Structure 1
Amino acid sequence: MKLYLIRHGETDWNLRNMFYGWTDCDINQEGINQAHKLKNFFNTVTYDKIYSSDLRRAAHTAEIIARDKMIPVRKNNCFRELFFGDWEDKEGSYIKENHREELNRWIKEWKTSSLPGGEAFLDFYDRVTVGLTGVIKENKGKNIIIVSHNGPMSAMLCHLTGAGPDGFWRFFSEQGCYSSVLVSDAKTTIEKINCPVK
């Protein structure tokens, strides 16, 4: 099977450097433009199903991509971003100013700790990879799109390559781009990472 992994389009929260894992904001005009460019590209690609996070920014991106082919978007909360707890809807500058000690601890111990009131990293990683494994089992031999967030896409790529949780920071997913992965029982092959569309 071939997996296409796509990060949602740009949001105003991206521009403000917000912590906004489960905050249900939408994409902005630039995000809509990015989604339309992806739609134009994927209109030339054969795919069988499209999945997304159930959060609006990912679902809206997926809906635009699938619009011309009229393929329904299958929303799955396994593909949500990490939940930032008490830091949801807070700007990075505010966190640095008011919670520097907790932030430094989390930066050093990100794998074994969680933000105040937030989701533990390993719980997040397991949630995402359980969702991914389910999609793979259901769709052997098919071409599948998953529209999600930067964190879950890093977790998926770590899982698919065997890097595991320790490899999480190796990957960063750009908005307006896609990554593609070939998956079989024998091996996994990363074809492209952050491939732009024209």
Structure 2
Amino acid sequence: MTVLYLTRHGQTEWNLEGRFQGQKDSKLTELGEQQAILLGERLDDVELDIIISSSSGRAYRTAELIKGRKNIEILANDQLKEMNIGDWEGQIIKEIEEHSPDEYHCFWNRPDLFKPCGGETFGQLYERVTQEIEKIIKIYKGKKVLVVTHGVVLRTLITYFENKDIKDLWNGTYMNSTCLNIIEINNNERRFILQGDISHWENIVSCS
């Protein structure tokens, strides 16, 4: 059986500022680093075979902190980077809602109809990340693999594994920083045994 452990990067400076990140990057906050360390401690008893991380700095740093002193290879993967949201990247979310209300509404409510300005559609993101996850499943058959990626990518992968339509992408558990998702894969059967779990946050007073 192949087991995928899927998580999102820790909290970043732009998360705190309320900015869309996309494929641009910002550093983890002190809290974000703590979130990653706690997830690493939670996974201490899991004998991971490989860590595959989005090549974005915030995700790769999260992977390093989860790894800690464990003797596990981290592979950077460009195909697991966050959705490219074009001109919106780096902008304050509230300002986007003001100057592009229709597209902002589509982004969160009808992702199948979202038309980016210079970036990817949800359909293009879906093709990119689902093709890559299938490659990972094939290469690491029978292994335990930790994938460190991003919020929209995670919701896209969950949509894929649950055979849902893109329009329903946001229907489900919110992907908080360093949340843990676990999916077991046995031939053609794919079954989530955990989604969006943040119980490793229990010793943190405030997280986001």
Q: Which bracket does the TM-score occupy, shorter chain normalised?
A: over 0.9
Aligned to 1:114: 115
Note the C-alpha offset of 1:135: 0.4
Aligned to 2:185: 183
| 1:67-101 deviations in Å (ceiling 9; x for gaps) | 21131211111111111111110011111222234
Letter in 2 for 1:141: G
Q: What is the TM-score of this pair, normalised by structure 1?
A: 0.92
> What CA distance in whole angstroms lies between the structure 1 residues aligned with 2:122 and 2:165?
12
The secondary structure found in structure 2 opposite 1:89 is coil
Aligned to 1:76: 77
Long gaps (5+) in structure 2:
203-208
Aligned to 1:124: 125
1:78/1:130 contact within 8 Å kept: no
2:5/2:145 contact within 8 Å kept: yes
Aligned to 2:47: 46
Note the C-alpha offset of 1:25: 1.5
Aligned to 2:99: 98
1:28-47 matches, within 5 Å, as: 28-47=29-48
> What CA distance in whole angstroms lies between the structure 2 residues aligned with 1:106 and 1:194?
21
1:133-172 matches, within 5 Å, as: 133-171=134-172, 172=174
Q: What is the TM-score of this pair, normalised by structure 2?
A: 0.88
Letter in 2 for 1:73: I
The secondary structure found in structure 1 opposite 2:156 is helix
Give the 3 Å change call, closer, same or farther, for CA 85–27 of structure 1 in structure 2: same
Note the C-alpha offset of 1:53: 0.6
Note the C-alpha offset of 1:191: 0.4
1:15-30 matches, within 5 Å, as: 15-30=16-31
Give the 3 Å change call, closer, same or farther, for CA 61–154 of structure 1 in structure 2: same
Long gaps (5+) in structure 1:
none
